[in-house]
Structure 1
Amino acid sequence: MKELAASIAHNETGTFAGVPILLKNFTQEIKNEPMTSGSKGFLNYKAEEDSHIVSKIKETGVTVLGQTNVPELALMGITEPAHYGPTRNPWNTNHTPGGSSGGSAAAVAAGMVPIAGGNDGGGSIRIPASFCGLFGFKPSRGRTPVGRKLGRQMQGASVDHVLTRSVRDSALMLDLLKGHEKGAAFHAPPFESTYFECMQKGFNKPLRIAYSTKSPINTEVHPENKEAVVKTVKLLESMGHHLEEKDAPVDGKKIANSFITLYFGEVAATLATMGEFLGRKVKYNDVEPTTWLLGLLGKATTAEEWVLSIREWDKAAYSMEDFHETYDFYVTPTTAFPPSKIGELDPTPSEKLMISIFGQLRLAGFIKKMGLIDQLVENSLKRTPFTQLGNLTGQPAMSVPLHQTTDGLPIGVQFMAANGREDQLFQMAGILEQSELWIDIKTNPMFNY
C-alpha cells in the first residue's frame, strides 16, 4: 500500500490538484507499477521509476488512478489486444474507440475521468479523439519529455500529451508539460507565452487555409469523413478566411512506406528488448501473430532501406515548412472512415493462416521479395492515411470534434500547422469550440460524469 500511495502522490497545489487522470499503458511508466504495453510478453514487467512525462504530469497536481488499455505494443489504430480484450466506444459499444490511445479516449468519452494520457506516433491521440468526440492534440516533436530510457520515441515520430473534452484542459496541460529536456534528441522551437492565453484569442486577420479530402495513398475516403471537412470549410469561409483545396506537397505513398518501415524496425527492436526482459529469445507464442510478423519484417529490413526511409521524413518536413509559409493551416479528415465495429478489422481465416505460416517459418524475406509490402501498407493505413504526415515531419496537429455520422458516431477534422506553432492551433481550436459544429460530449446518452 505504501508503494501504491507513493506512485499516485501528487502536488496538492498544482493547476490540476485533485483532478483524476488515467495514463496510457505504453511508455508512461509509473514507478513500481506494471507496464505491459498490451502484451503478455511484458506481463511481469514493473517500472523502476517514473518516466519523465509521468513526473511532469504528477507535478500538475493530478491524481493518477491507473492505466488504460492499448493494442499490443500500441501498434494499431484500434484497441483490441488479444490478451486483454477490446475497449469499446462509449458512443456505441459495438464500435472501436480507435487506437492506440483507445483506452484513454474511451475513459474520457465515458466520463470516467476528464483527462487521460496518450502518445501519438502515427495518429494515436488524434484517431481515438476523432472516434470518441474528443479534442486530441499532438504537439511538435520535442515539445514534451520522452525520457528516461529514451532520447527519442519512435525515432522522433512519437510525442506524449493528453486527450480531453475541452480545449482549455489540453492547453493548460501542455503549458505545464512543455520545456527543454536535457538529453533528449529533439527540442521544439521555444515558446514563451502560454497556450491557455492563445486559445482565448481570435485572429486579427483572415487566414489562408489549404484543405483536402483525398487520401494521400489514393484509397477510398468515406462520404461522412469528406462531409466533416466540407462543413468545416464552409464555417471557416463564413468567418472570412481564405480556403483553397490543395493537397500537401509530399508523396503520400513514400510517406506511408517510410512510416511502415519505421514500424518494422521499432517492433523488431521492442521484441529484442522483450527478450532481454524475459532472459531468453522471444517465441512466436509470446506475442500476437501480426506483431511477430512485423518483427520479422523489421529484421529483414536493411540499414540502407532504413536510412532512405528517414530521408523521406526530412524531405517531407522541408516541403511542409515551405507549404506553411503560404498556408496557416492544412485541413483534412482525421481518418478516412468512421469507427469500425469491434472485430471488423480482424484478419480473415485465410489471412490468419498466411500470417501463421509466414511467421512460424520466418518467411519475412519472402514477403518482401514477392512485393507484398505495398499491399501491407495499403491494408494497414487505408482507414487512417492522414495522420502519419505530422509524425514524420514533426509538425503539430489536432483532431477537433466537428461532425457526427447519421447513426451518431463522432468524426474529427484534422488541422496541421508549421513546426512550433501549437499557439495557432490552440487559437483555432478555441474559436471552433464555440461554433455550432463542435460536438458536446454530454449529448451522448452514455456519458456519465
Structure 2
Amino acid sequence: MTRSLLSILSGLRFADYVSHDALGLAGLVRSGETSADELLDIALDRIDTVNSAINAVVDVFADTARAQIAQGLPDGPFTGVPFLLKDLFIDLAGTTTTSGAVFLKDTMAKRDSTVAERYRNAGLVIFGKTHSCEFGGSPTTESQLYGVTRNPWNLGYSAGGSSGGSSAAIAAGILPAANGSDAGGSIRSPAATCGLFGLKPTRGRAPLGPARFDGGGGIATVHALTRSVRDSAALLDAVAGPEPGASYASPVQSRPFLDEVQQQPKRLRIAVMPQSLFGDEVAPDCLTAVADAAALCASLGHIVEEAAPDVDAELYLRTRQVMKGAAAATGIHAAERGLGRKATDKDFEQATWEAYRYGLTVTGEDVMRAREAMFALHQQVAQFMTTYDMILSPTTALGPFMVGTMGPEYADDIAGTLRRRASAFTALANMTGQPAMSVPLFWDAANMPVGVQFWGRFAEEATLFQLAGQLERARPWFKRLPSMTLEAAR
C-alpha cells in the first residue's frame, strides 16, 4: 500500500494537519485523535508531493524516525510531532552533516548535537534535514551540492537563506516548524521571505555544542522557524539553557517563554528605523512594510517614533569582514582535519573560497580586536536602547528576489552588494548578541511576503514574544499560506 493511500485512509487528513501548529498536533497525539506514525505519514507524503518542486528537504531518514517512535517517545510539549533539522553544523548521530558543501557530502555524525538531543527530549520526531547554502554564508539557499531551494509562494523566487530549506518546507505544509540557525539573518530573512515567524535568540540562549563552543566568534545562534508564535516560544523553552562546559550563557528567564505569548505587553517605546545604518538601498516594499507595522503598533497603543542608534559603520563592516574570514578559514581547516586531506578551490564555492583566502591573512590580533569591536558595537546599541524598548526595521533591504540572483556561481565581488543588502538590518543584531524577530505582517502586490524585524534588548526575548503574540492576535497570519499549500488542503 502506498504512503499516499495510507494518508488518505488515516484518521487525519492534510487539511486537518495544516490547520494545526506543532503544539496543536502534539495535543491531537496526546488526546488519541492521531498518532506519531500518522503525522509522519502525512509529512513524508507531503515531501513526495512537493519536494521535487521546492527542493527543501535534502535528507530523509524515515526508518530512524519510525524506530524512535517504536521505542517510545518522551512525554514532552511536542510529543509525536515530525521535525526537520537544518543541514548546517547540527549533528544527528548516524546521519550526514554536509553544511551545504560538496567537500563534506559524506561526513557522518558520530553523536547528537545538544540541541538535537533536547528536541528529541521534547518529543519531536526528527526524520530529515533541510537544505542550507554552503556554510550558511549566503542569503539564498542555492548550493553546488544540492541545487536551488524555491519559494512556495512563487517558484521563481528564492526561499531566502541560509535556513531556506526549513522556510520552504514549512510554507509548503510539510510541517509547522523546523530548525534553523542564524549568524547574519539566516532565520529572520527566510522567515520574512516565506511568510513565517522567525526569532534569533540572545547570544548563548541555546546551545551550539558539544562540537562547537562558539559560533563564528559569538555571532551564530540556533533556534527555529515557525508558523505560530507560540511554537517558537515553546521550542525555545525546550532547548534554552547552557550545556556542560558552555563558555557563556544568557541570563535565565523568569518564566517560560510560552507564558509570555499570552501576556499583554506594556506600552512599548519603539524606534522606527526604515533606512540602513550602512547606506544600503532599501526596496520600496520593505519601506511600506515598516510603515504599515509602525501604524499597527501605534494603533495598539505603543509609542512609535523614527530614531536610530549611532553606530560606527566602518567599525561594523571591518569587524564583520574579519569574523567572516576567520570563520571560513577555521571551518575549512576543521573539515580538512576531519577528512584527512587538503581542500582546493575546486572543493568550495567562489564566495566561500574568497572568504577563506582572506581569513588566511587575518592575525590573532585582528580577531581579538574584532571581538573588542563587537563589544563596542553592543555598547553603542545598548546605550540607544536605554531609551527605546525595541527597534522596528525592515528584515532585509532587498525584499523578495529571484533565484539565481546571487547563486553560488557568482563571486562575492559580483553579488556582494545584493548579499549585503539582504543582511543590512539583520547582521548587526548578531554582532551585538541581542534577540530579534521577523514578523509576517505584510504581503506585496504580487502576494509575496515581506517581513519586518523587531530588535529587543539583550536577553529580553520575553518582551519580543509578548509583542509578537499581540501582533498575531491583531493581524493573524497562520492561515495565510501559498496557493500550493491551500489547494492541497481543500
TM over 0.5: yes
How far apart, in 2, do the equivalents of 1:67 and 1:11 lie?
A: 20
How far apart, in 1, do the equivalents of 2:478 and 2:369 lie?
A: 44
Report the 3-state secondary structure (helix = DSSP H, G, I; strand = E; otherwise coil) of the residue aligned with 2:346: helix
Report the 3-state secondary structure (helix = DSSP H, G, I; strand = E; otherwise coil) of the residue aligned with 1:23: strand
Map of 2:273 onto structure 1: 212
Report the 3-state secondary structure (helix = DSSP H, G, I; strand = E; otherwise coil) of the residue aligned with 1:332: strand
Map of 1:250 onto structure 2: 311
1:444 counterpart = 2:482: yes
Question: How far 1:5 sits from its partner (Å)?
Answer: 5.5
How far apart, in 2, do the equivalents of 1:3 and 1:199 lie?
A: 34
1:260 counterpart = 2:321: yes
- Percent identity for Structure 1 against Structure 2: 36
* Residue in structure 1 matching 2:450, options 411, 415, 420: 411
How far apart, in 2, do the equivalents of 1:185 and 1:282 lie?
A: 30
Where does 1:363-402 land on structure 2 (aligned, <5 Å)? 378-402=417-441
How far apart, in 2, do the equivalents of 1:431 and 1:7 lie?
A: 37
Contact 1:26–1:35 (8 Å) recurs in 2? yes
Map of 2:380 onto structure 1: 319
Contact 2:64–2:127 (8 Å) recurs in 1? no
1:420 counterpart = 2:430: no
Contact 1:102–1:128 (8 Å) recurs in 2? yes
How far apart, in 2, do the equivalents of 1:252 and 1:98 lie?
A: 25
* Residue in structure 1 matching 2:84, options 14, 22, 37: 22
1:114 counterpart = 2:153: no
Runs of 4+ in 1 over 4 A off after TM superposition: 1-10, 375-379
Contact 1:134–1:441 (8 Å) recurs in 2? no
How far apart, in 2, do the equivalents of 1:271 and 1:289 lie?
A: 13
Contact 1:29–1:54 (8 Å) recurs in 2? yes
- Please give the per-residue CA displacement for 1:10-65, whole angstroms capped at 9, x wherever unaligned: 73421101111110001110001111111110111100000001001111101111
In structure 2, do the counterparts of structure 1 residues 443 and 180 end up closer, same or farther at CA, with 3 Å as the change threshold? Answer: closer
Report the 3-state secondary structure (helix = DSSP H, G, I; strand = E; otherwise coil) of the residue aligned with 2:291: helix
- Please give the per-residue CA displacement for 1:229-276, whole angstroms capped at 9, x wherever unaligned: 101111111122111211122123432332222111111111111111
In structure 2, do the counterparts of structure 1 residues 379 and 148 end up closer, same or farther at CA, with 3 Å as the change threshold? Answer: same
Report the 3-state secondary structure (helix = DSSP H, G, I; strand = E; otherwise coil) of the residue aligned with 2:474: coil
TM-score (norm 2): 0.83
How far apart, in 1, do the equivalents of 2:395 and 2:144 lie?
A: 26
Where does 1:40-79 land on structure 2 (aligned, <5 Å)? 40-79=102-141
How far apart, in 1, do the equivalents of 2:415 and 2:480 lie?
A: 39
In structure 2, do the counterparts of structure 1 residues 107 and 251 end up closer, same or farther at CA, with 3 Å as the change threshold? Answer: same
In structure 2, do the counterparts of structure 1 residues 423 and 74 end up closer, same or farther at CA, with 3 Å as the change threshold? Answer: same
Contact 1:7–1:31 (8 Å) recurs in 2? no
- Please give the per-residue CA displacement for 1:183-230, whole angstroms capped at 9, x wherever unaligned: 1122101113011111101124x2211111111210210110001110
User: Which sits farther off after the overlay, 334-343 or 124-133?
Assistant: 334-343
Map of 2:147 onto structure 1: 85
Where does 1:149-228 land on structure 2 (aligned, <5 Å)? 149-204=211-266, 206-228=267-289
Question: How far 1:425 sits from its partner (Å)?
Answer: 0.1
- Please give the per-residue CA displacement for 1:142-193, whole angstroms capped at 9, x wherever unaligned: 1111111121111111111111000010111111111232211221011130
Contact 1:122–1:158 (8 Å) recurs in 2? yes
How far apart, in 2, do the equivalents of 1:275 and 1:69 lie?
A: 22
Question: How far 1:303 sits from its partner (Å)?
Answer: 2.6
The letter for the 2-side match of 1:250 is V
1:291 counterpart = 2:352: yes
The letter for the 1-side match of 2:81 is V
The letter for the 2-side match of 1:444 is P
TM-score (norm 1): 0.90
Report the 3-state secondary structure (helix = DSSP H, G, I; strand = E; otherwise coil) of the residue aligned with 2:441: strand
Question: How far 1:307 sits from its partner (Å)?
Answer: 2.3
- Please give the per-residue CA displacement for 1:377-399, whole angstroms capped at 9, x wherever unaligned: 64531232000111111101100
Contact 1:145–1:181 (8 Å) recurs in 2? yes
In structure 2, do the counterparts of structure 1 residues 26 and 398 end up closer, same or farther at CA, with 3 Å as the change threshold? Answer: same
Map of 2:56 onto structure 1: none
Report the 3-state secondary structure (helix = DSSP H, G, I; strand = E; otherwise coil) of the residue aligned with 1:244: strand
How far apart, in 1, do the equivalents of 2:183 and 2:479 lie?
A: 25
The letter for the 2-side match of 1:427 is Q
How far apart, in 1, do the equivalents of 2:415 and 2:401 lie?
A: 19
In structure 2, do the counterparts of structure 1 residues 106 and 98 end up closer, same or farther at CA, with 3 Å as the change threshold? Answer: same
In structure 2, do the counterparts of structure 1 residues 407 and 145 end up closer, same or farther at CA, with 3 Å as the change threshold? Answer: same
Question: How far 1:443 sits from its partner (Å)?
Answer: 4.0
Uncovered stretches (5+) of structure 1, i.e. residues with no partner: 356-371
Report the 3-state secondary structure (helix = DSSP H, G, I; strand = E; otherwise coil) of the residue aligned with 1:36: coil
How far apart, in 1, do the equivalents of 2:87 and 2:360 lie?
A: 26
- Please give the per-residue CA displacement for 1:278-310, whole angstroms capped at 9, x wherever unaligned: 212111111112211211111012333322222
The count of aligned residue pairs is 425
How far apart, in 2, do the equivalents of 1:250 and 1:197 lie?
A: 34
Report the 3-state secondary structure (helix = DSSP H, G, I; strand = E; otherwise coil) of the residue aligned with 1:66: strand
The letter for the 2-side match of 1:380 is R
